[in-house]
Amino acid sequence: MGRYPSSMRCPGCGADETKVIDSRPAEAGNSIRRRRVCARCGNRFTTYERGTPLLMVRKRNGRLEPFSSEKLNNGVMAAVADRPVPREAVADLVEEVEVAVTAGGSPVASEEIGRLVLEGLRHLDSVAYLRFASVYKDFQDAEDFGREMAALGRGSSAGEHDKLTDEETTLGVGVAHDR
Ligand SMILES: [Zn+2]
């Protein structure tokens, strides 16, 4: 193969010396999914060798959108903001959810993704679990959750978020924008 596409660079530090630690067929054999570890910073991430995302997510409103592990990651990161949860644990959770929904085939319901995230968070951090659970019933979508938490962090809420407790509103302020 020629030069590496930029997607194989470490999303954490940008290094291109990454090591493949697992490969398997994905998306009904239409792509190869590779689990990689960064030689520089140890960050673990996943690449799909083929390019176009084939897994579609059916939102609650019926719309279909391509699955994005980055959006999923952002949603989970919002839930664990300021909690003692290692980034690697979040990456692993996103990875597990991605594997599960990919195996299930396209399209996957956003509710199913939310349910899997919730299941993973339950074992990871009780506060993050409760945070996610509190909005899951309203949004049922990790991506929407990330947006919601980010909105709370910007302090732009007025009345619309009165379903959330004071604690959750306070915790929402911790959402990081350090990308
Ligand atoms: Zn790295």
Cross-strand pairs, 108: 57
pLDDT of residue 176: 38
Place of tokens 């085939």: 105
Q: How far apart are CA 39 and CA 47, in angstroms?
A: 15
How remote is the CA of residue 40 from the centroid of ligand 1, in Å?
5
- The answer to whether residue 178 is domain-embedded is no
Q: How far is CA 89 from the centre of its chain?
A: 11
- pTM for the predicted model, two decimal places: 0.51
How remote is the CA of residue 21 from the centroid of ligand 1, in Å?
15
What are the helix and strand counts (H, E) for the chain? 6, 6
Q: How far apart are CA 58 and CA 80, in angstroms?
A: 25
12 and 45 housed in the same domain: yes
- The answer to whether residue 64 is domain-embedded is yes
Q: Give, as residue ranges, everything with CB less than 5 Å from ion ligand 1.
A: 10, 12-13, 15, 38, 40-41, 43
109 and 163 housed in the same domain: yes
- The answer to whether residue 22 is domain-embedded is yes
127 and 164 housed in the same domain: yes
pLDDT of residue 7: 57
pLDDT of 75 above 50: yes
Instruction: Decide which of 174 and 67 is more confident.
Output: 67
Give me the domain span that covers residue 106: 55-172
40 and 67 housed in the same domain: no
**What are φ and ψ of residue 5, in 5° steps?**
-60, 155
How remote is the CA of residue 167 from the centroid of ligand 1, in Å?
34
Give the DSSP H/E element, type plus range, for residue 116.
Answer: helix 110-124
HSE of 145, CA atoms in CB hemisphere, 13 A: 34
In terms of DSSP H, where are the helices of the chain? Answer: 69-79, 87-104, 110-124, 126-139, 142-153, 166-172
Tokens for 49, please give them.
Answer: 């060798």
β-pairing, 31-38 vs 18-26, is: antiparallel
48 and 68 housed in the same domain: no
Least confident of 16-25, 47-56, 63-72, 90-99: 47-56
104 and 160 housed in the same domain: yes
29 and 103 housed in the same domain: no
Q: SS3 for 134?
A: helix
Domain boundary among 52, 69, 89: 52
66 and 116 housed in the same domain: yes
Q: How far apart are CA 157 and CA 163, in angstroms?
A: 11
- The answer to whether residue 179 is domain-embedded is no
Share of the chain above pLDDT 70, in %: 65
How remote is the CA of residue 45 from the centroid of ligand 1, in Å?
9
Q: What is the CA radius of gyration of the chain?
A: 17
59 and 108 housed in the same domain: yes
From the list 96, 103, 95, the residue with the least C-alpha distance to 55 is 103
Task: Give the mean pLDDT of the chain.
Answer: 74
43 and 117 housed in the same domain: no
Domain count for the chain, please give it.
Answer: 2
